[in-house]
Amino acid sequence: MLPEVVLGEGKTPHQVAEIATRLAEQADRVLVTRADADCFAAVREAIPDAEYHETARSITLVRNAMRREPGVTLLCGGTADLPVAEEAAVTAELMGNEVQRVYDVGVAGIHRLLDHLPALQDARVIIAVAGMEGALPSVVAGLVAVPVIAVPTSVGYGASFGGIAPLLAMLNACAAGVSVVNIDNGFGAGYQAGVINRLALSERPD
């Protein structure tokens, strides 16, 4: 079963805690994204076994342990992209996937990326997180034959235009096998990778 999800952004800590509490009564896994420390404080008061993932700015509640299935590889180029990458990782993990993180690989240091070729070739689905010129998914999709979920980030300045530059680059990827989620949408990429990786396990989705 898929987790229940709350987008924390644009809600007060009180509102988030209230919604999370209600969902926790029905579901054994709950995810709150875009949650700051205040938000977590309010949630923890209502749900003491909730956990906070600081870099990912996410809160998780897991009441039913799930075996984690390997198959998701997560690539990320820059330190500043880590919050988005970790949001993707936390999401995919909560959905029962084991996530192999390959951080600090960017297209300006192509040999560092090529050093990780085995990790890429082991994947069933790859998440590629990148800001600036957003070229990582194109290069990666040229190296593998599995779906690549591209996540543009708002990391950059000037003509990055808050992530428009990598978003357009990813939509125009010259390699086949790339699809794209919204700017900074680590959750969306983690979720999409999660549902894709589940396909290998069962004939039909639940």
If binding is defined by CB under 8 A, does position 119 make contact with a second copy?
no
How many residues in the shown chain lie near a second copy by CB under 8 A? 82
What CA–CA distance (Å, rounded) separates 86 from 88? 5
CB of 28 to a second copy, least distance (A): 16
Residues 124, 112 contacting (CB under 8 angstroms): no
Q: Helices (DSSP H) in the chain: which residue ranges?
A: 13-26, 37-46, 82-94, 110-114, 117-122, 136-141, 164-171, 186-198
> Residue 80 Cβ, how far from a second copy at the closest point, in Å?
4
Report 83-112 residues binding a second copy (CB under 8 A): 106-110
Q: Could you say whether residue 23 binds a second copy (CB under 8 A)? A: no
Q: What is the token pair recorded at 166?
A: 């990598």
Q: Among 12, 14, 15, 49, which Cα is nearest to 30's?
A: 49
Does residue 62 interact with a second copy by CB under 8 A? Answer: no
- The minimum distance between CB 150 and a second copy, in angstroms, equals 8
By the rule CB under 8 A, 179 interacts with a second copy: yes
Contact pattern from residue 129 through residue 168 relative to a second copy, giving x for each residue in contact according to CB under 8 A and a dash for the rest: ---xxxx--xx-xxxxxxx-x--x-xxxxxxxxxxxxxxx
Name the one range near a second copy by CB under 8 A: 20-28, 38-46, 53-61, 193-201.
193-201
3-class secondary-structure state, position 49: coil
